[in-house]
């Protein structure tokens, strides 16, 4: 049976964390999940991550956290990212950035999985080249394991698909995050890499990408800065389950999850 | 039975047009479609629309074309958009822009449907406010019919969801286009508007958003300008079918289509 | 003798305000200034404007404040902008925006001057079209006076020059702001409009556009969010003096000021 | 006497080239110029550079060409940039980019000058970090000479000033290009580096940054793509002359040139 990786899309504040605390074990059971990875960049009040909110997620069963552009929003993350083995930030932040961009984690069954986090540049920060950065990181991870999971945190669909094809056959999965909207294009690419443009988000869906819809709408209408607050209604979990052949590291299945949980 | 609107996501060049010529009638039959709308901004060689390519699409059974930022890529579109009743361009282009941003079309059964095309501003052109523009256009269309379909051609998920909520209860459907990747978030919003962030694209999927993947990838790797060419392999049709109550204009169903056709 | 308008570039926090309190009367005397206009969008701690900081500036001899994208940074500005006759915000913010985009002010000698504030869209907010907005505002102002001063708060040199040429012969001056760097391209355009791409800033020049240079540099180096603080050393006043023919509203002179004041 | 470097801002098409052919020798004479450097990214029809247009410039007396984002506009530049010793492209293009980002050139008097070209990232391409790239290139150049001239081709004033301060004391001059508007902020920074945010352009000033003003204006008014053509009236040469101490590499003078030549 393939190794089953569950990846949970950007967790938005308390509603997202609570949904996982109630439902994650069920998803894990139903899909025979071996390893739970989640994007935590919005877990603390919608912006950033703290040691405490990360702890919440580890308690639910998350084994590894990825992140993205919002990881620096809470000041304490600068320190936390250094000491927390179970947290990666995009690898293509410049040299000297606290924390690490990739990690090896083991499933309870002892299978090693490489986790690589990257951030896109189109319409985003001016980071190092995520493509060349991926080359280097993958070479390193390959020394440990053929199973590599990539969270590519990016805005533009073209950049995300380019990364999928660029890494096709070299990693087990390229899963996009950041837009907070799950895409319906999950597939196994030609050389065996599982791909989806965006895994979506875990939080309130009576919202604009997780935030209260009235406030987010106001920003478009007024073009003035406005406060954003985490929304609370219509909670859903967005995720993907990827089955990977343990020996080759090739993906054999990719399945979307969109679970309404109240 | 509700009025059934079929909307086809951005058609990418000849592979997209040919797929429709082979398969559209089947989709129409299977889903009891009353009206076929399609986004044609990439129908001519991947960039823009010509009278000839539009003709191809009308012959397949498309009754109304919407468009987006690429509509001006072929010079002749400037004239064509003026004389073609079955073509709209985003309504929020500035005053004096050739063509029209909305239209009324009738189903074979005689039901009038308002079509409104809008373009987003986040990461895109500096256009007039699509929200206030929608207010005006909808008021006009409502005098003719309660059934209104909106193609919101935009990049950012937040702007698209904001438009969905902004128009919720006032139009039958807000369907996003432009990213060329179908999203999995189709739903009926609280007040009865069908919504999906992106309908996806119709063309070659062994590609980067419809274009040959080697060339598109090269642009990211080299950061130099490069030619794009329409891809040809793994053709699929991405679309949505929306069921609308004829009397109230409220959506009752929204269903995604992702049809592999060779 | 022509009417002499003094326009002071973006005032950056306390160092900028204090420089004006010490030196403004001298500049006014030396250049026979009839009216002092200043951009106040950064007057309060580098971000935004408050009633108190505006008061400081009026006391120095400023008669009219223009602004830009930062005008909304301090919450109280939302109310202040409504009640302060001597303050304009960019006219092309959407309908319903508090405050006004243009005003008429009189010199001590009784000459009426129209003041128009506009904001660019390239690399900035998604506002209404500043070109068409200018058409409407100018028509209104022309009923009162032929002398019209425009502060075009914009990033891209191309958009700023386009506005200059667009309004050439219809207003007395188009002066750019926002980049905080004075340009050396002051001139009278073909039809009599004084033009400069950017008036520069008034504040500390041992800085990165007015902010402490270490912190601003860090943002580029780390690509993480960082606090900005107003710099304090090497204070200079950047401004332009424009001579306008009272009868025709045509500019006859434009002169840059770059005054080191400690 | 200090070594005198003349740097000519972006040359726009034939009008720019012809102006140099008529006037460059006079500028060289008057300012006792030892080395002529020029930005050639727009020398061929306003977009890019060809071997032929470069030849024109070398004939006028230009000894070294820098460039920027437009260097790739003409196909032949991909080859030309490899074989032309007197041409650099921004050093922070990714590994594998044809051509080189820095060079050493000698004045007729035998003084070696290091030339470094960099491109900004704010509102521009997604390139490698120009700050860290500068560190590496400067280390290399310093082995040959203490005199280093940097053309930082960038849009945002903040990024340009950040580079100025970042390199202060390590290079002789940081001169900005790309906006095509000369700034009035030339100065010697605290540690001896000459700095100006933008050197301006050499071409037609009855224009929008060198292009015919009606067409450029139309793009802002219509928000549709439009052709740009090189403007021809009111030709000026924008440049800076920098005096550098030969032993220390520190700048001692920086002077702007804005020469109207018909
Ligand atoms: Fe996120
Ligand atoms: Fe993000
Ligand atoms: Fe498209
Ligand atoms: Fe598009
Ligand atoms: Fe400012
Ligand atoms: Fe500003
Ligand atoms: Fe240029
Ligand atoms: Fe450039």
Query: Averaged in consecutive runs of 10 residues, what is the pLDDT profile of chain B (262 residues)?
Result: 97 98 97 98 98 98 98 97 98 98 97 98 98 98 98 98 98 98 98 98 98 96 95 98 98 98 82
From the CA of C41, how far away is ligand 6's center (Å)?
7
pTM (2 d.p.)? 0.98
Residues, CB-to-ion distance under 5 Å, ligand 8: D 68-69, 178
From the CA of B194, how far away is ligand 2's center (Å)?
26
For B134-188, what is each residue's pLDDT tens digit? 999 999 999 999 999 999 999 999 999 999 999 999 999 999 999 999 999 999 9
Q: Are B224 and D97 an interchain contact pair (Cβ–Cβ within 8 Å)?
A: yes
How many CB atoms sit inside 10 A of residue B177's CB?
Answer: 31
pLDDT confidence of residue A54:
98
48-67 in B: which are within 8 Å (CB) of D? none
For C92-143, what is each residue's pLDDT tens digit? 999 999 999 999 999 999 999 999 999 999 999 999 999 999 999 999 999 9
Q: How far, in Å, CA of A181 to CA of A199, rounded?
A: 7
Nearest chain C residue (CA) to D159: C220
Q: How far is CA B157 from the centre of its chain?
A: 16
Determine which of D92, D159, D183 to mutate to test the interface with C (most C C-beta atoms within 10 Å): D183
Q: How far, in Å, CA of A12 to CA of A228, rounded?
A: 12
Q: How far, in Å, CA of C201 to CA of D161, rounded?
A: 14
Looking at the complex, does the CB of residue C181 fall below 8 Å from at least one CB of chain D? yes
In eight-state DSSP terms, residue D71 is G
Please answer whether residues B41 and B201 qualify as being in contact, where contact means their C-beta atoms are separated by less than 8 angstroms. no
Number of domain units in chain A: 1
Angle at A143 between CA A138 and CA A147, to 5 degrees: 60
Contact residues for B192 (Cβ-Cβ < 8 A; gap 6+): B168, B169, B248, B250, B251
Angle at D174 between CA D171 and CA D176, to 5 degrees: 165
For C161-212, what is each residue's pLDDT tens digit? 999 999 999 999 999 999 999 999 999 999 999 999 999 999 999 999 999 9
Q: Are B125 and D97 an interchain contact pair (Cβ–Cβ within 8 Å)?
A: no
Tokens, residue C210: 């007015």
Q: How far, in Å, CA of C10 to CA of A167, rounded?
A: 48
For residue C70, indicate whether it is catalytic: yes
Q: Are D223 and B96 an interchain contact pair (Cβ–Cβ within 8 Å)?
A: no
> CA–CA distance from B210 to each of A190, B235, D192 (Å)?
16, 9, 53
Looking at the complex, does the CB of residue D95 fall below 8 Å from at least one CB of chain B? no
Looking at the complex, does the CB of residue C193 fall below 8 Å from at least one CB of chain D? no
Nearest chain D residue (CA) to C167: D217
Q: According to DSSP H, which parts of chain A are helical?
A: 13-30, 51-60, 77-83, 130-142, 157-167, 213-222
End-to-end CA distance of chain C: 33
Q: Does D25 count as an annotated binding residue? A: no
What are the per-10-residue average pLDDT scores of chain D (262 residues)? 97 98 97 98 98 98 98 97 98 98 97 98 98 98 98 98 98 98 98 98 98 96 95 98 98 98 82
Q: Nearest CA to CA, how far is A120 from chain D (Å)?
A: 10
Residue C97's domain comprises: 3-260
Q: How far, in Å, CA of A237 to CA of B197, rounded?
A: 18
Tokens, residue A77: 């993350």
Q: Which residues of chain A have pLDDT under 70?
A: none
Contact residues for C139 (Cβ-Cβ < 8 A; gap 6+): none
pLDDT confidence of residue A111:
98
How would you class D95 by CB atoms within 10 Å of its CB: exposed for 0-12, middle for 13-18, buried for 19 or more?
A: exposed
Q: What is the CATH number of the domain that holds D126?
A: 3.60.21.10
Q: Nearest CA to CA, how far is B130 from chain D (Å)?
A: 14
Residues, CB-to-ion distance under 5 Å, ligand 6: C 68-69, 178
For B10-24, what is each residue's pLDDT tens digit? 999 999 999 999 999
Find tokens 């020049």 and name the residue: C205
Looking at the complex, does the CB of residue A96 fall below 8 Å from at least one CB of chain D? no
How many CB atoms sit inside 10 A of residue D261's CB?
Answer: 15
Q: Which residues of A touch B129 (CB under 8 A)?
A: 221
pLDDT band for position C220 (50/70/90)? Answer: very high
Out of B94, B95, B129, name the one closest to residue C94 (CB): B129
Q: How far, in Å, CA of D47 to CA of D229, rounded?
A: 10
Tally of residues, chain A: 262
> CA–CA distance from B105 to each of B25, B71, B102, B109, B150 (Å)?
19, 20, 10, 11, 13
Out of C125, C127, C223, name the one closest to residue A93 (CB): C223
Tokens, residue B104: 């009324």
From the CA of C46, how far away is ligand 6's center (Å)?
10
Looking at the complex, does the CB of residue B73 fall below 8 Å from at least one CB of chain D? yes
Q: Which is nearest to B13 in space by CA: B181, B233, B197, B177?
A: B233
DSSP string covering D174-217: EEEESS-S-BS--EE-TTS-EEES---EEEESSSBTTB-HHHHH
Looking at the complex, does the CB of residue C125 fall below 8 Å from at least one CB of chain A? yes
Out of C131, C198, C207, name the one closest to residue D220 (CB): C131
From the CA of B11, how far away is ligand 3's center (Å)?
7
Q: Does C178 count as an annotated binding residue? A: yes
Query: What average pLDDT score do residues C220-239 get?
Result: 96
> CA–CA distance from B35 to each of B100, B242, C198 (Å)?
20, 10, 53
Q: Are B222 and D125 an interchain contact pair (Cβ–Cβ within 8 Å)?
A: no
B91-112 exposure pattern, b = at least 16 Cβ within 10 A, e = fewer: bbbbeebbbbbbbbbebeeeee
Q: Which is nearest to D190 in space by CA: D214, D166, D220, D217?
A: D166
pLDDT confidence of residue C1:
87
How many CB atoms sit inside 10 A of residue C45's CB?
Answer: 17
End-to-end CA distance of chain A: 33
Out of D93, D96, D224, name the one closest to residue B72 (CB): D224
131-160 in B: which are within 8 Å (CB) of C? 132
pLDDT confidence of residue A1:
87
């Amino acid at each position: 049976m393939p190794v089953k990786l569950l990846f949970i899309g950007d967790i938005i504040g308390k509603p997202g964390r609570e949904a996982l605390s109630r439902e994650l074990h069920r998803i894990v059971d139903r899909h025979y999940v071996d390893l739970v990875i989640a994007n935590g960049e919005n877990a603390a009040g919608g912006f950033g991550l703290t040691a405490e909110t990360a702890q919440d997620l580890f308690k639910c069963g998350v084994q590894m956290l990825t992140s993205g552009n919002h990881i620096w929003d809470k000041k304490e993350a600068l320190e936390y990212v250094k000491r927390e083995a179970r947290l990666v930030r995009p690898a293509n932040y410049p040299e000297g950035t606290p924390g690490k961009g990739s990690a090896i984690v083991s499933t309870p069954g002892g299978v090693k999985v490489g986790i690589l986090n990257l951030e896109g540049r189109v319409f985003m920060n001016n980071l190092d080249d995520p493509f060349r950065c991926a080359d280097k990181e993958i070479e390193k991870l390959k020394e440990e394991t053929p199973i590599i999971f990539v969270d590519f945190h990016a805005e533009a669909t073209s950049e995300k698909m380019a990364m999928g094809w660029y890494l096709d056959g070299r990693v087990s999965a390229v899963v996009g995050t950041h837009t907070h909207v799950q895409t319906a294009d999950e597939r196994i690419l030609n050389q065996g890499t599982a791909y989806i443009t965006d895994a979506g988000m875990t939080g309130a869906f009576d919202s604009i990408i997780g935030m209260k819809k009235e406030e987010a709408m106001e920003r478009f209408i007024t073009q003035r800065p406005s406060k954003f607050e985490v929304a609370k209604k219509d909670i859903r979990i967005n995720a993907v389950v990827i089955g990977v052949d343990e020996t080759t590291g090739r993906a054999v299945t990719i399945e979307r999850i969109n679970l309404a949980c109240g």
